Amino acid sequence: MEPVTLKALFHRRMECIGIYFAKSPSLEKIIRKQPDVKWSKTNACWYIPLTETGYKNLLRDVAGMATVDSTHLKAYLEQRKKIQETLPEKNASPFKKNQSAAPVYVDIAAIKLSAENTEALQQFIEMLKLKSYSSSTIKTYRNEFMQLLQLLKSKPVTELSVTDLKRYMVYITETMGLSENSAHSRLNALKFYFEQVLGREKFFYELPRPKKWKKLPKVISEEKILEGLLKVVNLKHKTLLLLAYSAGMRVSEVIQLKVTDINSDRMQITLNHAKGKKDRVVTLSKSLLPLLREYYIKYKPEDWLFEGQDSGEHISSRTAQLIFKNAYKNLGLPPQCSFHSLRHSYATHLLESGTDISFIQKLLGHSDIKTTLIYAQVSKKEIGQIESPLDRALRKKGL
């Protein structure tokens, strides 16, 4: 009986089963008949895609001729299963059922983690879920934490001291060139792990935070808002953009609207589970109501107001961003403008029309009015009343 060893390998970003055996013409003849089999010069082995069907067919075809050692492959699958459980959306099966199935996301860097750091990652995600963090926050924090674990290799993350973390923060800002905002995000993830998971209270008191740039929001004028919307022919796209601007909604809020969230009797829109796990009510625009009714009659949405391509799913935030980009391209807007600029514009235009800042705070769902006050810095109502010293000097000279 010929010995055959099966190992997981990544070839050209594809997850495969590497087939290793001593030179044997009869065995090689069988291996070469496997579906989608290829030779890897780099790994010096034959390989097939990592699928349940391929694995079973291989075992069947070499039975009676070879003894198969799948220890390495099973260890890999077990590790991958642990890693899959730390993802916001995990695949239940360690195998793809067949070659035509959608590819399973494989976090190669995470699979190569040590046993101690894999356990740390699992505990980290478990605590985030227990504290009911949103899937987007879990995804962000996981990515930030993974950057550190990947760098540590075999060193357990639990052994790091405050001094080690200070060196790490200097490294990511000076050597890796992370921005102040990215460094804050990385620090928030690490703070959560050491204080919330490991229970090391005030562990980060000695770790200074980099000062963040205070960027002003990108605001689009009322004229440009309407100019962009008038170009939109697709009724669904136009309704989506108008609804977002008319109520100052985040992209995540507008795409997750349900038909039942629109209350035309009270002229209100209910935003459930908005950012910060806070429900709030915003105004339904009177001028938008006829368009909404036209949209409803044409598309007949059942649950989600803006349904996606897949049954039972809402439109994705990426699709919404693309709709915005297509509507507002070639209008001379700054490249930093995004779907969120509609929300910034809504708040600024309300302030310029005389709406009290405290009402704007409630409509936007801000916990702290300081967050809302940033719109006063970009409002034409305030800035436009200030005369430049140059204009005053020229006026005095009669120029």
CA distance 219 to 341: 6
Residue 102 confidence (pLDDT) = 43
| Least confidently predicted of 84-88, 174-178, 291-295, 303-307 | 84-88
Using alpha carbons, select from 40, 344, 50, 388 the residue that is nearest to residue 215. 344
Q: Confidence band (pLDDT; 50, 70, 90) for 399?
A: low
Q: Mean pLDDT, to the nearest integer, of 370-398? A: 68
Output the CA torsion sign for 174, 180, 186, 192: positive
Q: Any idea which residue has 């009869």 for tokens?
A: 26
Using alpha carbons, select from 19, 25, 21 the residue that is nearest to residue 3. 21
What digits encode the pLDDT tens for the residues 200-242?
877 777 677 767 667 788 888 889 998 988 889 999 999 999 9
Whether the per-residue pLDDT at 101 is higher than 50: the answer is no
Q: Mean pLDDT, to the nearest integer, of 375-388? A: 65
Which residue type does 122 have?
Q
Task: List the domains of the chain with CATH numbers.
Answer: 2-84 (3.30.70), 113-197 (1.10.150.130), 222-339 (1.10.443.10)
> Which structure tokens are listed for 228?
């962009």
β-bridge mates for residue 21, sequence order: 4
Q: Share the mean pLDDT of the chain.
A: 86
As annotated, the active-site residues are 250, 275, 340, 343, 366, 375
Q: Confidence band (pLDDT; 50, 70, 90) for 97?
A: very low
What are the angstrom distances between the C-alpha of 255 and each of 37, 271, 374, 392?
A: 44, 11, 26, 49
Whether the per-residue pLDDT at 190 is higher than 80: the answer is yes
Of the two residues 245 and 89, the one the predictor is more confident about is 245
% of the chain with per-residue pLDDT over 90 = 51
Whether the per-residue pLDDT at 387 is higher than 90: the answer is no
Whether the per-residue pLDDT at 189 is higher than 70: the answer is yes
Residue 273 confidence (pLDDT) = 73
Q: Mean pLDDT, to the nearest integer, of 73-86? A: 88
What digits encode the pLDDT tens for the residues 109-157?
778 889 999 999 999 999 999 998 888 889 999 999 999 999 998 999 9
Residue 90 confidence (pLDDT) = 47
Residue 159 confidence (pLDDT) = 94
Beta-strand pair 45-49/2-11? unpaired
Residue 92 confidence (pLDDT) = 43
